């Protein structure tokens, strides 16, 4: 082919390709069910590196997660000792690693009330002397599944102030990743939730959902049209250790508490260790909240088994595995929730339950289900979030609230990933609502690097984020959990200094 012919041919091909890109750029062409390709856009072809990912090297290089969350503590004689249990917490002093103030992304407070956490800090400071048991409840969406953030905060607070165990959990957890312990089931267990399902699919019609916004049952939900035939239902819950190198205190508890209500028929309950019967009791009828409590020896490899037998199942609001003193941190992931479901739960019951559980601090962490909303005006979210936080504060007036802003969330734009256009809108609303409701705020989005930071977490070596560019993975959750704990601890140490308690 002559040079002129080659030039004309290449120009024609270029014109044809350019025309296709101009007219159809960004279109997906499906060749088969499993094969497709996307026609590139002008920006894909001719513009390079217009999207810059955040630099998070300072977060990765300065992380001390592994060193500070594993096994060592200092005793009073300054020798190093492994934590075998916290039954004798008065003999242990946990020393938090010193983190430079400039390396901490700090909490923010309402300008008219910078002391919203002081009452909680006062309880912490006196906890070993008073030997009270206080509780933090961490509510969130799928971003906190598996104990993200909660596990780090729980482990470090329990080491310093006493306590143990994973806290208050649903008895039945269908999502194994969310389960904080190794539970195995026999019988027809089902978890009912007040979140993440259409209203038409909610089987339980009353509003007494408890502090976990979920109910576990081993018998079908009965209605007026249910069969009157007498049936005895049986079920088992087996509790085994769950091995966590970073979180050994999760397996260390001395009390098991079943919390139930709405019991229509007596239920016989037995607690066993291996084949040895430790206790047997009856859950009586009635709508009131009932606590079935057992003191137990340290869990071994054989675990514990709880058996149930009755003509109906109570509504089980959860099972608490913890110590009668120290601190508990409940991880409550509400997949599919935007944090707006608390208004659907009985205020009177929430008040009673928070009092029974002695809740003193809430972490509120939602947002990943709000960002995809295809709207310009998010006033509905501002109003709803404000009303829901206010409800929690009214139900538990002695508790403080920390709103944890959402993480970065990215969508693919061409060959790059960019922060979703609504992330900063939602974050700004969360901060505004936090201050309006007298709550503290931690900006996780900025703490992790800000705009276009999630790809940096996903592409890190090893990866710190999930390939959905929304969720942290296990390693990433350790880092972000440590960052949040450092922010909380910074304010606590400042409180001690200002109160002359150091």
User: CB 152: neighbour CB atoms within 10 A?
Assistant: 26
Q: Give the model's confidence band at 60: pLDDT under 50 very low, under 70 low, under 90 confident, else very high.
A: confident
Distance CA 37, CA 301 (A): 52
Predicted local distance difference test score (pLDDT) of residue 361: 99
* Share of residues in the chain with pLDDT > 90 (%): 72
DSSP-assigned letters across all residues of 184-230: EEES--EEEESSSS-GGG----SS--TTTTEEEESSPPP-TTS----
User: pTM of the prediction?
Assistant: 0.86
H or E element, residue 183 = strand 182-186
Q: For residue range 150-206, what is the model confidence (pLDDT) as tens digits? A: 999 999 999 999 999 999 999 998 877 667 789 999 999 999 999 988 888 899 999
Q: Which residue has the higher pLDDT, 287 or 61?
A: 287
Lowest mean pLDDT among 151-160, 240-249, 260-269: 240-249
475-480-481-487 Cα dihedral, nearest 10 degrees: 150
In CATH, what is the architecture of 168-323? Answer: Sandwich (2.60)
Per-residue pLDDT for 451 more than 80?
Answer: yes
Report CA-CA distances (Å) from 308 to 126, 168, 217, 285, 292: 40, 19, 11, 15, 13
Mean pLDDT of the 276-289 span:
96
Give the position of tokens 């769950």.
Answer: 242
CATH 2.60.120 in the chain: give the residue spans: 168-323
Q: Give the model's confidence band at 33: pLDDT under 50 very low, under 70 low, under 90 confident, else very high.
A: very low
Distance CA 401, CA 137 (A): 10
Per-residue pLDDT for 27 more than 70?
Answer: no
H or E element, residue 428 = helix 423-436
Q: Which residue has the higher pLDDT, 201 or 297?
A: 297
CATH 3.40.50.1110 in the chain: give the residue spans: 57-163+325-502
The rounded radius of gyration (Å) of the Cα atoms in the chain is: 26
Mean pLDDT of the 292-320 span:
97
Q: Give the model's confidence band at 265: pLDDT under 50 very low, under 70 low, under 90 confident, else very high.
A: very high
Q: For residue range 91-105, what is the model confidence (pLDDT) as tens digits? A: 344 556 678 888 899
Predicted local distance difference test score (pLDDT) of residue 73: 39
Per-residue pLDDT for 70 more than 80?
Answer: no
Q: What's CA 19's distance to the chain center, in Å?
A: 49
Q: For residue range 314-332, what is the model confidence (pLDDT) as tens digits? A: 999 999 999 999 999 999 9
Q: Which CATH class is domain 57-163+325-502?
A: alpha beta
Predicted local distance difference test score (pLDDT) of residue 78: 33
Predicted local distance difference test score (pLDDT) of residue 87: 34
Per-residue pLDDT for 309 more than 70?
Answer: yes
Half-sphere exposure of 328 (CA within 13 A, CB side): 29
H or E element, residue 416 = strand 416-419
């Amino acid at each position: 082919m002559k040079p002129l012919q080659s030039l004309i041919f290449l120009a024609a091909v270029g014109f044809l390709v350019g025309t296709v890109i101009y007219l159809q750029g960004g279109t997906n062409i499906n060749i088969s069910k499993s094969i497709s390709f996307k026609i590139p856009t002008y920006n894909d072809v001719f513009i390079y590196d217009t999207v810059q990912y955040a630099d998070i090297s300072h977060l990765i290089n300065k992380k001390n997660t592994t060193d500070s969350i594993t096994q060592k503590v200092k005793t009073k004689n300054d020798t190093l000792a492994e934590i075998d249990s916290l039954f004798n917490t008065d003999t242990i002093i946990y020393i938090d690693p010193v983190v430079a103030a400039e390396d901490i992304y700090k909490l923010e407070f309402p300008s008219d009330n910078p002391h919203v956490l002081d009452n909680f800090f006062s309880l912490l400071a006196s906890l070993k002397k008073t030997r009270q048991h206080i509780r933090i409840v961490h509510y969130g969406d799928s971003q906190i599944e598996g104990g993200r953030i909660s596990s780090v905060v729980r482990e470090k607070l329990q080491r310093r102030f006493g306590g143990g165990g994973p806290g208050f959990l649903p008895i039945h957890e269908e999502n194994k990743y969310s389960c904080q312990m190794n539970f195995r089931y026999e019988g027809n267990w089902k978890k009912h939730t007040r979140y993440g399902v259409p209203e038409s699919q909610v089987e339980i019609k009353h509003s007494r959902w408890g502090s976990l916004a979920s109910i576990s049952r081993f018998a079908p939900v009965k209605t007026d049209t249910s069969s009157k035939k007498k049936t005895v239902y049986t079920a088992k819950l087996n509790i085994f250790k769950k091995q966590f190198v970073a979180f050994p205190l999760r397996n260390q508890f001395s009390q098991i508490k079943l919390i139930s209500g709405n019991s229509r028929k007596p239920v016989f309950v037995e607690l066993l260790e291996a084949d040895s019967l430790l206790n047997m009791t009856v859950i009586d009828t009635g709508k009131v909240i009932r606590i079935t409590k057992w003191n137990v020896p340290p869990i071994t490899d054989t675990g514990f088994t709880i058996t149930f037998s009755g003509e109906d199942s109570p509504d089980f609001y959860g099972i608490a595995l913890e110590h009668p003193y120290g601190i508990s941190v409940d991880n409550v992931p509400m997949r599919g929730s935007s944090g707006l479901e608390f208004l659907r739960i009985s205020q009177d019951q929430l008040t009673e339950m928070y009092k029974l559980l002695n809740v003193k601090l809430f972490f509120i962490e939602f947002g990943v289900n709000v960002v995809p909303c295809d709207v310009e005006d998010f006033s509905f979210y501002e109003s709803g979030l404000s009303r829901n936080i206010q409800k929690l504060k009214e139900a538990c007036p002695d508790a403080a609230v920390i709103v944890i802003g959402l993480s970065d969330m990215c969508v693919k734009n061409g060959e790059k990933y960019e922060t979703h256009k609504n992330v900063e809108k939602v974050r700004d609303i969360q901060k505004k609502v936090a201050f309006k409701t007298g709550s503290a705020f931690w900006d996780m989005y900025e703490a992790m690097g800000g705009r276009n930071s999630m790809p940096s977490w996903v592409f890190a070596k090893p990866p710190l984020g999930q390939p959905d560019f929304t969720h942290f993975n296990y390693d990433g959750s350790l880092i972000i959990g440590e960052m949040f704990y450092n922010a909380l601890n910074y304010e606590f140490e400042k409180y001690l200094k200002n109160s002359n308690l150091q």
